[in-house]
Every structure is written in C-alpha cells, then in structure tokens.
Amino acid sequence: MKRLLFFILGFLVVLNSCNSKNSSYAPPKSVHPLANYFYPYDSIPRIYCYRNVANGLDEEFHRIFGIKDSKGHHIIVEKYSPDGRLIEAFNYNYDSLDVLQHIVVDRKKHKNSVPLKKNKRFPWNEKEQSIFISEYPSHFDSIIVIDTLKRRITKKNIAHLVLEEETRKGLFIDEFISKTLFNIYTKKTITNLRTDGQSIYCEGFGLVEFYSKNKAVHFKLEKVISQKEWAQFITRK
C-alpha cells in the first residue's frame, strides 16, 4: 500500500512539473523592430477570416502558423479562396520577416516554389520602403506573371478597432501593387495592372485590414477560428 502511495505521489510530482514547464513556455522573439505588429508566432494554426465590406459576399481566408527548422523560426501564411482552395503561401523568416519562399498553386493544382527577385513584404522601419517581386507561370504556357509589391509605413502606434471589440495599436502601410503579364516568346508586356492601397497591422494580430485607395475593395478581419472550425466550415461549402 505504501509503495502504491509513493508511486501515485511521484506521478503527481512529475505531472505537475510537466504542467509547470508548459505553462512557462515563452514563444520565440524576433529581432525585427516591428515584429509586435506582425502575426504572433504559434505552432497551432489559426485561420483569419476576412470579409470585403464593400461587397459582403467576398471572403478571403489566411491560415497562419509557426514552424521551426535548422534555419530558425518561420511564420507560414497560406491564402485560400472562398471555396477553400489554396491560392498561394508565404514562408517568412521570423527574425527578418523576409520571405524565404513563395508558393503559387497553378491551374493543375500543383504547388510551385517560384523565383523571388526581391523578398521584402514587410518594412524594417519607417524610413525603409520594402519591395517584393516574384514571377510565376500564368494559365497560359507562353505567359508569366510578375507580381510587385512596394510598401512604406505612414502611421505608427495609431489606435485601431479590431473585430469590432477591442482597440489595438496599429501600423498603417501604404502600398503599390502591380501585376504584369509578360509573353516569354515575344518578350513583350501584354498588360500591367496597377493599384494603390493600404494595409493595417495591429499588435497581437498581424494583418487586420487591407483595401484599395478608393475602397472599391475593402477587406476587414471578421473573426479568427481554429483548425477544427475551419475544417467544419470548408465541408459545408
């Protein structure tokens, strides 16, 4: 009986020790001076649900999660269409917040890692302009798409309402977006679509709002759900 009692007490001590370690877990810290405005690092995926307030039927979903490998900590941002199809994904180094890899899903539903000409999608400070340029095949074999994103911070530490519930410090970023279709055989540009817009990142959340300057397109974070809730949501589509 005494042996059984000692075994139970010992088990409880070990269990309590494990719980203490879990409760004291601290997520990794980024050296980026504005990392507190970016998505928080968490190995448990969360799905950010955005709705276009300019047209309530438009939705966009971003699946966010952290991973660790031999190169350090990373944050993965996957973008999904309203019907749950993966469109593209970005692998951010957590220290620099530079993009290490850009994945684009082609018309055959293949995931392709595409070349990066410039890899900064998030400014380092208020003086720097970040530039991101990637290129990938279009739905036509002879045409490639060149995506360009230029960003510059315009406002910092501005109180911003998130999820219509709480106010957080916001980072306002002006952006120039260009999508060029280029014929690889004729070496000529077919079309070049350009848009000016703004994105808002908030402490503890990351991206909470993004829109074109005329707000013809205006997405706001509507809710954040778990992986299980996301799976249930997609099956109902």
pLDDT tens across 202-227, in order? 999 999 999 999 999 999 999 999 99
DSSP bridge partners of 79: 62, 88
Would you list the domain boundaries of the chain? 36-235
- HEC readout, 36-99: HHCCCCCCCCEEEEEEECCCCCCEEEEEEEEEEECCEEEEEEEEECCCCCEEEEEEEECCCCEE
Q: Which CATH number fits domain 36-235: 2.60.40, 2.40.360, 1.20.120, 3.40.50?
A: 2.40.360
Distance CA 116, CA 147 (A): 10
**Chain Cα centroid distance, residue 83:** 18
Per-residue pLDDT at 57: 80
Per-residue pLDDT at 152: 98
Query: Cβ of 119: how many Cβ atoms within 10 Å?
Result: 19
pLDDT of 73 > 50? The answer is: yes
Per-residue pLDDT at 103: 96
Per-residue pLDDT at 25: 59
Distance CA 194, CA 213 (A): 12
Using pLDDT thresholds of 50, 70 and 90, give the confidence band for residue 52: very high
Per-residue pLDDT at 1: 43
pLDDT tens across 125-151, in order? 999 999 999 999 888 888 999 999 999
- Report the chain's mean pLDDT, rounded to a whole number: 87
